[in-house]
Structure 1
Amino acid sequence: MNHIQFTIVESWNTNSIVRLYKEAGWWKEEYSPDEIPGLIKASYRFIVGIDVTSGETIAMGRIISDGISIGIIQDLCVHSDFRGKGIGQVLLQFLVNEARKAGLLKIMLVAEPNTESFYKKSCFISNKNQIFLLHCR
């Protein structure tokens, strides 16, 4: 794990970010790589994980926030070649620490189905009293 470095960025190589989105299954044909720089810049914090031995971007995650009370972690992804090594947990803790350092009071996250046990290891809980809804077009 010593060969993985996490860094907050305001810009990054678009192709490496698109590759991670595709790897996670989140990239759709109608998306444009040209929008990635704006997505990174508009994020409250955008973190990349770099394998320093190869220079390859192997992980990412971001926080969107009002900068005062709420931070929402999303797009947490570790490339499949690097999964199962604890990198995701370290990245998640990095994001939580950044949110706490910024003084955010509530930290929430958006997760894929059946990943709850991963997040519970980092003290995230499901709140059965709240339901988050996605607007469908």
Structure 2
Amino acid sequence: MEAHVLPNLLQEIVCKIIELVGEESFYNLGPFLRAGKRGYALAHEPSVLKKCDVSEMEDGFVTCQIRQGCQFREFHLKCVSTGNRKAIYFEGLLTAPSIGLEESIKILEPNVPMHGFSTLAVVIFNFCLGNDKEAS
């Protein structure tokens, strides 16, 4: 039997709850993802993915889980596609060695200048490419 995610609450309210717990850590979405189709769908709402804190995906052992073919890769890419600034930043850094600095700059550009670390990475990548004008 499928578990239910707060069946008496409106979808918008449950989605806001999931969004708020996801802001703390993407790990907090786990119970909703496992609670059935409704919980899974709500945890993958663009509003949730955009604000989800994916920092722990980059910390320590989890980094290997967001690389190509790994456990959290699909979830990470969904966060990137919704405009999640931290996910975009991590994706730009993670893929730089394999796709090149120019392509990584393209990934990071939506964050510039609102996200300081992304902006710094773009400046450093441009400097490494010899694009002094773009780096300034």
Q: TM-score, normalised by structure 2?
A: 0.29
Larger relative helix fraction: 2
* Larger relative contact order (Cα-Cα within 8 Å, sequence gap ≥ 6): 1
Larger relative strand fraction: 1
Which structure has the larger Rg? Answer: 2
